[in-house]
Structure 1
Amino acid sequence: MTGASGLRVERDAATGVAVVTLDRPERHNALDLATASELGSCWREFRYDDTVRAVVLTGAGEHAFCTGVDRAAEVPQPSSPYSIDDPLLTVGPKANDLWKPVLAAVNGMACGGAFYLIGECEFVLAAEHATFFDPHTTYGMVSAYEAVAMAQRMPFGEVARMALMGTAERVSARRAYEVGLVSEVVAGAGVRAAAVAAAETVASFPTAAVQGTVRAVWSAREAARAQAMAHAPHLIALGNAPPADQSALFASRERGAPFRIR
């Protein structure tokens, strides 16, 4: 079934696998606010649906998996510089307390806010033509949540390179496989079928064992992830501040006493 917001959900009770498709190909499967909200609701619904034992997340078409938040979306922000409303913080399965395995089938571009989703999947399969990149710095924006998510999956230098190179460089599916972001590269348009086959295997195993293993794997990195995520909103707020405010902040630092090591 496809919702008005562009999310398609298919369940196969026989195999225990659900396929969630971001169905906005005309917008490169970018997330508007309605789709982001529906995605969160979808994960929460799966928590109570015992017929769903594993999930595949993909995008419609072959051009894009997800390109983050729709740039046409208007996100109201509170006046306080200490608060930032980010609709993508709640689009992932783990953010919605879903501990059933979720596999990402990346069938094209995955960039920017797509990493909120990829970062909360158990593992990633990619089509040969898939690419990964983070455009934030190109447009004068801080890559914070995205970089944190990828730092949990890729070597430090690879994360730094992708985040800093912006739109000037794209990581190929093969390179993503080499650095550990992707677990399998699939020829042609077969990435969804390959992901479904893997999900069917996982779904066929005892549910308690599978979900307990998912929880155990995530517990190994929760502390570092939580600490890093806590810094993200402050970095974003500073990076997005008007130039005049940034200049005033740095000027006040220059007028103050120098740092000393005690």
Structure 2
Amino acid sequence: MTPRLERDAATGVAVVTLDREHRHNAIDLATADALGAVWRELRHTEDVRAVVLTGAGTAAFCTGIDRGVDVPQPASPYSADDPLIAIGPKACDLWKPVIAAVNGMACGGAFYLLGESEFIVSSETATYFDPHTTYGMVSAYEAVYMAQRMPFGEAARMSLMGTAERLSARRAYEIGLVSELAAPGELLPAALRAARTLAGFPTEAVQGTVRALWSAKQAALQQALAQAPALIALGNLAPERQAELFAGRRESRVEPRVR
């Protein structure tokens, strides 16, 4: 079952691992539901005071929605049937600190998770990109989340350049998206080190601080996210055309520029 949840009562830290390595930790509908259930469970788990979120293997942290998933299309542009909308901890009302440990690729729907983490520890070999525009899709939720965490120009470039470019871990660190770089073998220990520190503090103070930090931007974030369904309905190509572009891109094997 994915995700995998491991709790250490001695340190007060839980590790949530996206465990679909064979699919680059892409999220199917069952995983989306399970992630929401994990965050809700951790709200009520008193011996967990901090969380590390990571992906299985070294190839990818998460590559967003599994393209094999048949997502029902809303009958109206005023309706939203986004299967990833509630996969993040804040969407599930969890205010214990969540540290993302990013290994390999983080792209597309991964930003729902990164956007709701307190900070990111990244492998030096990780890359970040948003493929939406390449495949005729509007990057709405993802772009909004990243615009909250990155300089606007950097968020705009990543959201618009699609699969043509990838943001290196070093560049992500330089612009403030990533708070710490670690060698691939040291990624999880680095994230756990920070999580154990937070778990050792009084949890009421830590959670209150998390809530205060998010209150600084929550109004603007929610206002921006509210525009997403209509923008997606207006701008997305038909699913069949998206699939054609995806297949063509795979066949062309164009190597992205890493900057």
Letter in 1 for 2:29: L
Separation of aligned partners in 1, 2:233 and 2:210: 33
Q: Distance in 2 between matches of 1:226 and 1:236?
A: 16
Secondary structure, aligned partner of 2:153? helix
Q: Which residue of 1 aligns with 2:107?
A: 111
Distance 2:112 2:97 in 1: 16
Whether 1:189 and 2:185 are equivalent positions in the alignment is yes
Alignment length (residue pairs) = 239
* Aligned counterparts of 1:200 and 1:99: Cα–Cα separation in 2: 16
Question: Which of 10, 16, 20 in structure 1 is aligned with 2:12?
Answer: 16
8 Å CA contact 1:9–1:20 kept in 2: the answer is yes
C-alpha deviations, 1:172-224, integer Å up to 9, x for none? Answer: 00000011100000012211111011100000000111000000000000111
CA distance, structure 1, for counterparts of residue 237 and residue 51 of structure 2: 39
Q: Deviations over 1:145-185 (max 9, x none)?
A: 00000011000000000011110000000000011100000
Aligned amino acid, residue 53 of structure 2: L
Q: Within the alignment, does 1:90 sit opposite 2:52 as a pair?
A: no
Aligned AA (2:35): L
Using the alignment, how far apart are the partners of 1:130 and 1:240 within structure 2? 28
Q: Is residue 147 of structure 1 aligned with residue 143 of structure 2?
A: yes
CA deviation after TM superposition for structure 1 residue 78, in Å: 3.1
**How do 1:169-248 and structure 2 match up within 5 A?**
169-240=165-236
- Determine if contact 2:136/2:237 at 8 Å carries over to the other structure: no
d(CA) in 2 for partners of 1:92, 1:188? 24
In structure 2, stretches of 5+ residues that fail to align are: 239-259
Instruction: Write the deviation string for residues 75-100 of structure 1: whole angstroms up to 9, x where unpaired.
Output: 12332232120010000000000000
TM-score by length of 2: 0.91
* Unpaired runs of at least 5, structure 1: 243-262
C-alpha displacement at 1:241, in angstroms? 5.6
1:26 partner amino acid: H
Q: Is the 8 A contact 1:107 1:189 kept in 2?
A: no
Spell out, residue by residue over 1:207-261, the C-alpha distance to the aligned partner (whole angstroms, 9 max, x if none): 111000000000000111011111111100001265xxxxxxxxxxxxxxxxxxx
Within 2, Cα distance between the matches of 1:181 and 1:151?
10
Q: How far, CA to CA, are the matches of 2:43 and 2:140 in structure 1?
A: 28
Which of 122, 128, 138 pairs up with 1:126? 122
* Contact persistence 1:29–1:64 (CA under 8 A): yes
Equivalent position of 1:81 in the other structure: 77
* TM-score in terms of structure 1 length: 0.90
1:10, 1:77 → 2: CA distance?
Answer: 35
Q: Which amino acid aligns with 1:224?
A: A
Question: Please, what is the CA RMSD of the aligned residues?
Answer: 1.1
Letter in 2 for 1:221: K
Flag the structure with larger Rg: 1
Post-superposition, which runs of at least 4 consecutive aligned residues in structure 1 deviate over 6 A?
none
* SS of structure 2 residue aligned to 1:88: coil
Q: Does 1:66 align with 2:101?
A: no
Does structure 2 retain, via aligned residues, the 8 Å contact 1:21–1:60?
yes
Q: Who is 1:255 aligned against?
A: none
1:59 corresponds to which letter in structure 2?
G
* Alignment-mate amino acid for residue 162 of structure 1: M
Contact 2:103 2:184 in 1 (8 A): no
User: 1:259 is matched with which residue?
Assistant: none
